[in-house]
Chain A
Amino acid sequence: MTPEPLTTPKAPLGAAANPTRLAVEKLCLSFGGLKAVQDFSLQLPKLCLYGLIGPNGAGKTTVFNLLTGVYQPDNGQMQIDANQLRGLQPHQITAAGIARTFQNIRLFSDLSVLDNVRLAGQLHCKNGLPTTLLRTRRFRAREAAIRERAYELLDIFEMQPLATARAGGLSYGHQRRLEIIRALATDPKVLLLDEPAAGMNPKEKLDLAKSIRAIRDRFGIAILMIDHDMGLVMDICEQITVLDHGVTIAHGPPTHIQNDAKVIAAYLGGGPVA
């Protein structure tokens, strides 16, 4: 799964060369009386690999759902390259450059691997109804381009031999990988990975860690990942945000997070240490 060997473990660019891509300011969301997310703020640079962690029920996936438009925030701002995202529909947000994977795999299981990738890849290359029904030259050229790009992506991740296989019939590891490929096919600027390592063994996690870094550098995108595997997150993320009960309790580089008293309290229980 590693396209090319990578030697840069941390973001290679300085702040000047790596301007903010996604800016999130004080997002809030309540379900009735439950404050699911409170004042969530985050700045993702153009090229980065950030982590979002927290105990179960901390609101991590809810943050993803806010960022991708599944939920509308009660308050706050989200911008990508100075384009306002708040109030947009999920498909518009995807078109604006935020793609995601799902915690519980959500592939189009009766479609082929190729079709899963093509579906995502057609986002920026749409055919209208008249050209589709008449099957014009332009239609054929576009479909060919979508198809070619899908094959390229599958090639990068060594999934090409499986292109005609039914997505639902793939092995678990391949399904996870296909979800990432599919998200990348939308040509994102920001990629949100929701527990990409869930259910993987240590060897697979190691491979995944390598490939996530490789994706960041090869595609030049910002990645924000949720995971419960502290080893993985501490190892590859440059910055980590910790959520507990919807509140951001810590933000900083892994070494800082590991020694943060509030984080330790959130994970291990006990009152907050003063």
Chain B
Amino acid sequence: MAAESSPKIAIVDESPIRAAILEEGLREAGFTDVVRIDEMQSLLSRIYALDPDVIVIDLENPSRDILEQMFQVSRAVRRPVAMFVDQSDAASIQASVDAGVSAYIVDGLKKERLKPILDLCISRFNAFAKLQDELDRAKSALEDRKVIERAKGILMKLKGLTEDEAYVLLRSTAMREKKKIGEIAQSILTASELLK
């Protein structure tokens, strides 16, 4: 490996969207040699075929234990992993576990060269988690809105209220019971199902 060439980075991630986000981030940062592995069958031989300098894996992936054996020297392990992040840097480990990613450096690569790669992975993983979270919230907000619409309809019919009055009633009940409007609306739907 030429000392200053871009290290070859393998991304092991079964989430194609997250892997794409990570790959794009690495490329933008000037790491041009990035390969994605999304098939866990025979992971070790795939890694040897690619012969990467750095391996990045998501923590939800049970195959992470497969990489741990690369610390060993044996017939199955042809090019051992030198380390899992920086042994001396507890903060890096904390940040990477929190973000849900870990990185292994394969023997031969200088350890200073891992740091910017790991930092980038952590920030991209965090960005992905935030995105996922926002998406989940948007989905549940949409769900809530549907439920609230139906609950309003039931209140209007049963109590002869206008739409605005029905909404005010829902909101004041939610505030009084320290619950979300969506939850109150859901209990109205459940109750009306039961009383049918």
Q: Do A and B come from one complex?
A: no
Binding site for A on B (CB under 8 A): none
Residues of A within 8 A of B (CB): none
